[in-house]
Amino acid sequence: MNKQIKFIDLGVMDYKDAWDYQQNLFDEIVEIKKKNRKNNSELITPNYFLFVEHPHVYTLGKSGNISNLLIDENQLKSKNASFYKINRGGDITYHGPGQIVGYPILDLENFFTDIHKYLRLLEETVINTLKIYGVEGGRNSGKTGVWLDVESPFPRKICAMGVRASRWVTMHGFALNVDVNLDYFNNIIPCGLANNIVTSLKKELGDDYIDINKLKDDLKTSFSISFKSEFI
């Protein structure tokens, strides 16, 4: 089993372009798996992990409800925002500047074949990274993602997650709010959850400086520990 993961930082990229980029890598892995099955071969399947920052965009998962987008097409344009219906799980979310979006494109048969474990390890990756910055993240029962003050009546969501998996190959992933304009979340019902409070690392830390490159390195380290993997 190949536990090496090729890391690629895409910088700032339009959502559709990044989606196509993901899809090409996803298709590459799936094709190798099909050949292995057809030819009874054991070609190694690669794994990828992408970081990207998107311009303002709202995405609606395949189980989402369009009514959770609270603005119309003209208002989207006025906010320089795009909208896409996409093939991940989950409802609606926002991506934009000041967010670290992570897209692991893994052949889970290199690791384990359990999609629930996969989601929990993604959450663990973010939770352990937040600890480095003195922020206590946790899981909110029955809801994916990473939350703060989960025992309080009003927990705050700092990281959204939504994935797709087929033939045990993953795409899409997580979006960690670092120094994002939280006002953009007012235009949706985030993840389809009414009264869902969204926060960011910057809001939690106040005036403390956040080194985005160090944060990315910390996420990669936490990911490699959780998934018992190695970045190349």
Please write the tens of the pLDDT for every residue from 81-114: 999 898 887 889 899 999 999 999 999 999 999 9
SS3 62: coil
Q: Report which secondary-structure segment, H or E, holds 158.
A: strand 156-166
First to last CA, the chain: 15
pLDDT value of position 17: 97
CA gap 203, 207 in Å, rounded: 8
pLDDT value of position 51: 98
Residue ranges in the chain whose pLDDT is less than 50: none
Nearest by Cα to 53 from 94, 1, 92: 94
Residue 50 contacts residue 22 (beta carbons within 8 Å): yes
Among 5, 191, 198, 201, the active-site one is 191
Percentage of residues of the chain with pLDDT beyond 70: 98
Q: Which domains does the chain have, with CATH numbers?
A: 4-231 (3.30.930.10)
pLDDT value of position 193: 65
CA gap 115, 120 in Å, rounded: 9
Residue 146 contacts residue 102 (beta carbons within 8 Å): no
**pTM of the predicted structure, to 2 decimals:** 0.94
Distances (CA, A) of 189 to 46, 86, 193: 36, 17, 6
SS3 42: coil
pLDDT value of position 189: 82
To the query of whether residue 191 is one of the catalytic residues in this protein, the response is yes
Residues whose CB falls within 8 Å of the CB of residue 120, separated by 6 or more in sequence, listed in order = 139
